[in-house]
Amino acid sequence: MEKAVQQVKAAQEKFSTFNQKQIDAIVKHIAETAFAQAETLARMAVEETGMGVVEHKKIKNELGSMGVYESIKDEKTVGVIHKDHRLKMTEVAYPFGIIAAICPTTNPTSTAIFKTLIALKAQNGIVVSPHPTAKRCTVEALKICAQAAVEAGAPDGLIGWITDPSMEATTRLMHHPAVDLILATGGSGLVKAAYSSGKPAYGVGPGNGPVYIEKSANVKKAAQLIMDSKTFDNGTLCSTEQSIVVHKNIKEMTMRELRNNGAYFLNEEEKMKLGNVIAPTEGQLNAKIVGRSAETIAGMAGIEVPVGTRVLIAEEDRIGKDVPFSLEKLAPIFPLYTAESDEEALRICEGLLNFIGRGHSCSIHTTDEEAAQRYGLAMPVSRVMVNTMASIGAAGATTGLMPSLTLGCGAYGGNISSDNITARHLFNTKRIASGIKEVTVPKPAPQGVEPDIEAIIDQVMREVQGNGKSMDLEDVSTTVRQIVQQMSKTL
């Protein structure tokens, strides 16, 4: 860890002299090279972690490489980035320096590529701490990026990593005096550690996003999208739908369409068996089910399901630590909640998010724009997907959201940002501002200077004589005060 930080520090000092054109050429070559290795890295990730689907991890690697590159390629991130002639102000970008990046086991290679690209685009160096269960594939992705960077003219050592990661090494990396910013993607404990490091940090919270199938929805299309989203990489994306909430008027139709798309509905006995596998300890997810297929998980629970079963579903009406199906599962498992009305649906969805996943994401399927608006305004999240796959929609694959594999949860989730984190979050902005307004500053009265009494008496007499009529004591007093005030302003 220490060696990696020192190498990156030396390289970043040289890199900080590069111009925008040089940096853009390096970032482009890294993205293209990583994109070409997307399938190889996907296979490595599945083999090492046992999680997910090769074809789907390939898509994530492609999004994390060229998808991200296309979204940032035209952004100015070096030197003068904006001039406002009306306000006579120039904005200048300057890098944080060295970024410590933590990568998860669920999306190891795609996150490594993505964080490397946005860090270098903003003229930073990066040191990555892989997850211990995904270190081989993560390091391979970083080696590919590092070699491509050097080929394009970057200083050697600009991309570093911890070869033998551990919680101790990661903690020391986050506290290292040379580290300037932390990009933390992982469990809540890791994110809290990043926030308590004393460094600026972008962390993310857990996802537990519900999907509401509103009564006007195209049920056939909604069921297909939800099932495709839930089975994408076996549910390892934190933005994936975790619970289905359906309006009672379309419940039977929805269940039929879900079955048509490979869902298996559990009976009460099977529900209890699977619940014990989801959370053997109350409130704690069993890591062994993460990223596994529905058939594999059913086998773990001793449940026989038809060949080709894609998702396991159980009807549910409760939320809490003692309700395993209401947890964030990161696997092809759904609870199905029935809502008597739109108002009840909102209460259920909000209850799920307040339990786990507040600030992250949720989704709705509807043909009623007003219903989508009401839902979006009511939900305590940072992104709401409408009529699309929430899993990859939140990451920008099927929506206009910024392509990203680090999704901020904002104030709802205790994060500093509610954005999809990208290159623009990884540099600072210096502002050179010229004066555009004139301000007259009044001079204060000198301390201890007495007004000229003779002058005041003389002026009062002139006022009295010029008035042409007699003045009582009150008139004289008022005149004296006015003259004293006028004279004080000129002192």
Written as six digits, the tokens of 458 are 């003389």
Nearest of 384, 474, 405, 426 to residue 68 by alpha carbon: 405
What are 94-121's pLDDT values in tens digits? 999 999 999 999 999 999 999 999 999 9
Residue 442's pLDDT band (boundaries 50, 70, 90)?
Answer: confident
Residue 335 bridge partners (DSSP): 314
Residue 34 burial (CB < 10 Å; 0-12/13-18/19+)? buried
Which helix (H) or strand (E) element contains residue 459? Answer: helix 453-467
Which residue's structure tokens are 């994530």? 60
Nearest of 92, 95, 82, 114 to residue 15 by alpha carbon: 95
Residue 192's pLDDT band (boundaries 50, 70, 90)?
Answer: confident
Residue 469 pLDDT > 60? no
Q: How far is CA 478 from CA 462, 467, 468, 487, in A?
A: 15, 14, 17, 14
* CA 326 to the chain's CA centroid: 23
Q: Which amino acid is at 209?
A: G
DSSP string of 314-330, one letter each residue: EE----STT-GGGS---
Residue 188 pLDDT > 90? no
Q: Where are the domains of the chain?
A: 2-204+423-432, 210-400, 453-490
The topology (CATH level 3) of 2-204+423-432 is Aldehyde Dehydrogenase; Chain A, domain 1 (3.40.605)
What are 277-312's pLDDT values in tens digits? 999 999 999 999 999 999 999 999 999 999 999 999
Q: What distance in Å separates the CA atoms of residue 252 and residue 13, rounded to the nearest whole number?
A: 63
Residue 468's pLDDT band (boundaries 50, 70, 90)?
Answer: low
Active site residues: 238
Q: CA neighbours within 13 Å on the CB side: how many for 101?
A: 33
Please state whether beta strands 89-95 and 210-213 pair in parallel, antiparallel, or not at all (unpaired): unpaired
Nearest of 187, 188, 186, 162 to residue 173 by alpha carbon: 162
Q: What is the pLDDT of residue 30?
A: 98
Mean pLDDT of all residues in the chain? 93
Q: CA neighbours within 13 Å on the CB side: how many for 41?
A: 31
Is 2-204+423-432's fold the same as 210-400's? no
CB 235 within 8 A of CB 331: yes
Written as six digits, the tokens of 343 are 């108002």
The topology (CATH level 3) of 210-400 is Aldehyde Dehydrogenase; Chain A, domain 2 (3.40.309)
Backbone angles phi and psi of 382, in degrees to 5:
-100, -15
Q: What distance in Å separates the CA atoms of residue 275 and residue 322, rounded to the nearest whole number?
A: 10
Backbone angles phi and psi of 451, in degrees to 5:
-60, 155
Q: What is the pLDDT of residue 194?
A: 87
